[in-house]
Amino acid sequence: MTDLWHWIDSPLGKLLLVGDGDSLTHLAMSPRPNDVPADGRRDAAAFADVEAQLEAYFGGELTEFDLPLAPRGTDFQLRVWNALLEIPYGETASYGEIAARVERPDAIRAVGTTNGRNPIAVIIPCHRVIGADGTLVGYGGGLDRKRLLLELEAEHSAPRLWQVRS
Sequence-distant (≥ 6) Cβ neighbours of residue 93 within 8 angstroms: 87, 101, 128, 129, 130
| 120 belongs to the catalytic site | no
For residue 83, with 0-12 CB atoms within 10 Å meaning exposed, 13-18 middle and 19 or more buried, which class applies? Answer: buried
Q: Spot the catalytic one: 126, 130, 149, 152.
A: 126
Distance between start and end Cα atoms, the chain = 56
CA angle 79, 28, 18 (to 5 degrees): 85
CA distance 15 to 17: 6
Sheet with 13-19, side-by-side order of all strands? 24-29, 13-19, 4-10, 41-42
Residues known to be catalytic:
126
